[in-house]
């Protein structure tokens, strides 16, 4: 099957980024969200990100026009996926929500369509079991920000057909991405390795071993990481980090994945990182300067 029509479910940060890269690569994209205001915001964001690419000399003005012409929106999943060759779900990281969406997609999408999830940790096998086509369900875990980051972690569910995997690998390359295929176990590879590091950094702060600045500076300057683990946690979202750690802890039953109590408390208090304006750092006023949160900067 030639893949040309893409439907993306969810117009949040990841959804609009995924829609952006497919539309820019020449695919026809339907961006689906229940809320028209969210769709309007997503199209505005894509436009701004295209302008940023123009200013950096990555694309030309006419490329922006063509990309936006490849995009349309829909507030209904049923009509939004009706002619899709590939549907990519990019909804909130919640198992019940994702399985519910996949049941609806399965009914509405053409029978030959491939169904993919952008999940960062939830089992593809479990999601696929909610459909009548588990062999056509796969994970496409894009990294944030999608237009910039090159990796696509491709996750085979227990029943995913090899032809489906090959198709998604080839498709990712057409997007200018680097696909890496992994098998369906909790956290896959990216988060199975990343989240324990972030959790250990939070434990180090919790135990008073080092400050926020020291932990992040040591990892940046000593280990050549582009950003420290606490800043990265803020960027990902502390609620997302906590959710993934719960998936790892439940899936493997190993205490090394148990979330640090400090992380749990911060999420309970609504300190979620960049999205809430405060996490380990303050992000008030949209400042790019890293200012340690008042909770830790005493």
Looking at the annotation, which residues are catalytic?
Answer: 120, 141, 153, 191
Q: Which helix (H) or strand (E) holds 114?
A: strand 114-117
Q: Retrieve residue 207's tokens.
A: 């135990």
Q: How many residues does the chain have?
A: 298
d(CA 245, CA 236): 13
143 DSSP assignment:
P
d(CA 233, CA 140): 21
- Is there a contact between 154 and 165 (Cβ–Cβ < 8 Å)? yes
- Is there a contact between 127 and 137 (Cβ–Cβ < 8 Å)? yes
d(CA 139, CA 218): 34
């Amino acid at each position: 099957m030639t893949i040309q029509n893409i439907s993306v479910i969810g117009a949040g940060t990841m959804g609009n980024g995924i829609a952006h890269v497919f539309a820019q690569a020449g695919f026809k994209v339907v961006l689906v969200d229940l809320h028209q205001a969210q769709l309007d915001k997503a199209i505005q964001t894509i436009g701004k990100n295209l302008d940023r690419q123009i200013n950096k000399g990555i694309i030309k003005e006419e490329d922006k026009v063509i990309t936006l012409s490849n995009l349309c929106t829909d507030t209904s999943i049923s009509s939004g996926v009706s002619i899709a060759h590939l549907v990519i779900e990019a909804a909130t990281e919640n198992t019940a929500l994702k399985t519910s969406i996949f049941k609806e997609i399965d009914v509405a999408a053409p029978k030959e369509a491939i169904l993919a999830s952008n999940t960062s940790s939830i089992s593809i096998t479990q999601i696929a079991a909610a459909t009548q086509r588990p062999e056509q369900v796969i994970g496409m875990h894009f990294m944030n920000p999608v237009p910039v980051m090159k990796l696509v972690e491709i996750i085979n569910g227990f029943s995913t057909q090899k032809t489906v995997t090959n198709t998604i690998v080839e498709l990712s390359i057409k997007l200018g991405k680097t696909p890496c295929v992994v098998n369906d176990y909790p956290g896959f590879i990216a988060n199975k390795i990343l989240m324990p590091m972030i959790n250990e950094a939070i434990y180090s702060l919790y135990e008073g071993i080092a400050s926020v600045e020291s932990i992040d500076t040591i990892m940046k300057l000593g280990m050549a990481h582009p950003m420290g683990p606490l800043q990265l946690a803020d960027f990902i979202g502390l609620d997302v980090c906590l959710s993934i750690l719960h998936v790892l802890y439940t899936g493997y039953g190993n205490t090394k994945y148990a979330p640090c109590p400090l992380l749990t408390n911060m999420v309970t208090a609504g300190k979620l990182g960049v999205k809430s304006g405060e996490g380990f750092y303050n992000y008030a006023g949209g400042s790019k300067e890293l200012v340690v949160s008042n909770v830790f900067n005493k």
